[in-house]
Structure 1
Amino acid sequence: MIILAATPIGNLGDASRRLIEVLENAEVIAAEDTRTTQRLLQALQITNRPRLIALHDHNEKHKAAELAALAAEQDLVVLSDAGMPTVSDPGYGLVAEAVVQGVTVTAIPGPSAVLMALAISGLPTDRFTFEGFLPRKPGERRTALRAVAAEPRTMVFFESPARLASSLSDMGAAFGPDRRIAVCRELTKFYEEVRRGNAAELAEWAGAGVKGEIVVVVEGASPREISPEDAIAQVQQLVTDGIRLKDACAEVAAATGLSSRDLYQQVLAARSK
C-alpha cells in the first residue's frame, strides 16, 4: 500500500508514535527532499535506513506509475518536507495513479498548518476553503483574489515572507478595508506568532520584514443586500462577459445569499419576455 505520512511542521515533539513506528520499519520512502527526510530520521533517532526515492513537483508525473506499481508489491511511505503529502505538496499525482492501478492508499494523520492556523485565527471554522499559494506575479495574484472576493467561507492561504506585504495589500484592494485577517507565522515553533487586523494594518506590519513559514486566514464575505432585479442584472452582465449562466447564478448567489436556482429561473423568465 501507499502510506501518506504527516510529519512535524516545526516542533519535532509533534511526531506521533505511529509515525515513528512506520519510519522504523519502512523499507522504501518516497520523499519530497531526501536530504530533509534524512535529517528527520536522524532527529527522531530512527536507526532504520530505508531506500529513499525522490518524489517532487518536477518528477512526480513521470514517477507516479512506477511508484504505484512498486506499492502494489511492498509498502511505500510518502513524506513531504512538512505536514501532509498532497496538500500543497507532492503526492496527489501518485495517489491518483494508485487509484487507477487499484493500489490501497492510507494515511497517518498528524500536524497540519492549515487546520492549526484556522483553529487559532479567531475566525469562523464551521466552513472554510483552502486556497494554497497565491500566484507569484502581481497581476495574476490580483485576479485570483478578485475571483474569491465574494467567497462566504473563511479562506486559508499559504504565502512566502517576501511577498506577504504585497499580498496583504492586494487583499485589501480585493476584499475591502473591513475584512478580518489573521497572519500565522512559524506555527509550532519557538517564535510562533499570530497577528490579527485588517489588510492595511497587517500590510504595514509586514512591510518592515517578516521571516518564517506563513499562513494567512481571511474572513469570508458577508452576503450583500440586493434587490432581485439588480441580482438578475448582475447575472446577465456576467453572462455577457462570457460566464456560463449556471456559473453566473452561482457566483451572484454566493455573494448575495439569494437562491442560485431562483436566479436561474428568473433570468430565463426575463429572457422570454
Structure 2
Amino acid sequence: MSKLYIVPTPIGNLNDMTTRAIEALKESNLILAEDTRHTQNLLNVFEIKTKLISYHKFNEKKRSEEIIEEILINDKIVSIVTDAGTPCISDPGYEIVKLARENNIEVIGLAGACATTIALSVSGINTDRFSFYGFLPRKDKELEEALEEVKQNLIKTYVIYESPKRIKNLLNCINKVMPNAQLCVCKELTKLHERITYGTVSEVKEIIENDENAERGEYAIIGFNNDFVEKDESGFKVSLEALIFDKIYSKQYSLKDAVKEIVEEKNASKNDAYKASLNVKEFFESNVFSN
C-alpha cells in the first residue's frame, strides 16, 4: 500500500535514531534526502540499502510532482529525511506532504529529534505557548523588522534558528529591538560540544562575543519577550496631523524632522506620514495668508 513516511533523523547523537525510523527506511522503496552524501553515511551505519535520491529546496516542487506520480502509479512506499531533525520544520518537505494529502496518499509522521522541542525543554523559559520563526531574514533592516513583529506578538516565548556565521549579528539586533529579553541560546544540541547559554540578552551577547568557537555549529534560540507593550484598544486615536503638530511645538522640530521621527517610531508608514504632513503644511499656509 502506497504511503509517505516523514522520518526524523538525529541532530547530532546517532543513538537518537529510533528503531521505528530504521524500520520505515528499510521498508521504503525510495528515500528522499536533502544531501544524499550526508544521508548515505547515516544509512551505512544502520545497514539500510534503500535507494536514495536528492530532495532539497532547489528541486522540491518539481521532484514532489514526480514522486507523487511514482507513488500513485507504482504503489510505492517513500520516506523523506533531512540532514538532521524533522522534515518540514525549517527544512524541505512541505510540498510533497501537501501533494500527498491532495492525492489521498497516507502520510505517516514518526517521533524523533527536533531542535525546537529539545531547546524548549532545556531552556528554563515558559513553554505554555510559543511562536516558531525558524530562520529570520539576513539583511539587517529586514531582520530588525522581523524582530519588531516578534516583539509585538502576544505570545511572548519565541523560537529562532540561526547559523554560526550570523549568530552575533542576530544577538546584536535582538539587543537593539528587545533589550530586556531573556534568552537560552542552544548550540550543537545532543552533540559532544553541546553548549547552552542562559541569561539576559546582554549577558548572552557578551558570552558569545568572547567565545572563540561561536562561529561553529548550528543554533536554536529560545527567547522571552519582556519588551512587549500592549496596544491601547480603547478606540481613542490621535491623528497623525496631531502628532506632527505636537512634535513641531513641543520639540521645536521642522515639519520634515517631525515626519521623520514619526516614521522611525513606527507610528505611521512613510506614505501616510507624508500625506499627513501635506495637511499640516496646508494648514500653516492658510493661516499665514489669513493673517
Is structure 2 residue 158 aligned with structure 1 residue 155? Answer: yes
Paired residue type of 2:193: Y
Q: CA deviation at 1:23?
A: 2.1
Residue of structure 1 in register with 2:144 after alignment: 142
Q: Which residue of 2 aligns with 1:193?
A: 195
Q: Report the 3-state secondary structure (helix = DSSP H, G, I; strand = E; otherwise coil) of the residue aligned with 1:94.
A: helix
Distance 1:199 1:180 in 2: 6
RMSD between superposed Cα atoms in Å: 2.4
17 and 228 in structure 1: CA distance in 2 versus 1, 3 angstrom threshold = closer
Change (3 A) 1:146 1:223: closer
Q: Which amino acid aligns with 1:164?
A: I
Where does residue 261 of structure 1 map in the other structure? none
- The alignment of Structure 1 onto Structure 2 pairs a total of residues equal to 239
Q: Check if 1:215 corresponds to 2:215.
A: no
CA distance in 1, matches of 2:20, 2:236: 55
The C-alpha deviation readout for 1:185-241, integer Å capped at 9, x for no partner, is 111111111101122222222223412111011103466467655x64389998964
- Aligned position for 1:42: 44
Within 1, Cα distance between the matches of 2:202 and 2:105?
Answer: 49
Q: Residue in 2 aligned with 1:174?
A: 177
SS of aligned partner of 1:23: helix
SS in 2 for 1:162: coil
User: Contact 1:29–1:51 at 8 Å: present in 2 too?
Assistant: yes
The yes-or-no answer on 1:164 pairing with 2:148 is: no
Structure 1 residue matching 2:165: 3-state secondary structure:
helix
Residue 243 of structure 2 is matched in structure 1 by: none
Shift in Å, 1:20? 1.3
Distance change in 2, residues 1:56/1:223 (3 Å): closer
Distance 1:240-1:212 versus aligned 2 partners, 3 A rule: closer
The match for 2:90 among 88, 91, 112 is 88
| 1:131 corresponds to 2:133 | yes
TM-score by length of 2: 0.76
CA-to-partner distance for each residue in 1:41-70, whole Å, 9 max, x for gaps?
1123x1x32111111000011111111122
Aligned residue in 1 for 2:6: 4
Contact 2:182–2:226, Cα closer than 8 Å, also in 1: no
Q: Percent identity of the aligned residues? A: 34
- For residues 57-114 of structure 1, the C-alpha deviation after alignment (integer angstroms, 9 at most, x for no partner) is 0001111111112233111010111111111111001111112222111111101100
- Rg larger for: 2
Distance 1:13 1:170 in 2: 36
CA distance in 2, matches of 1:22, 1:173: 46
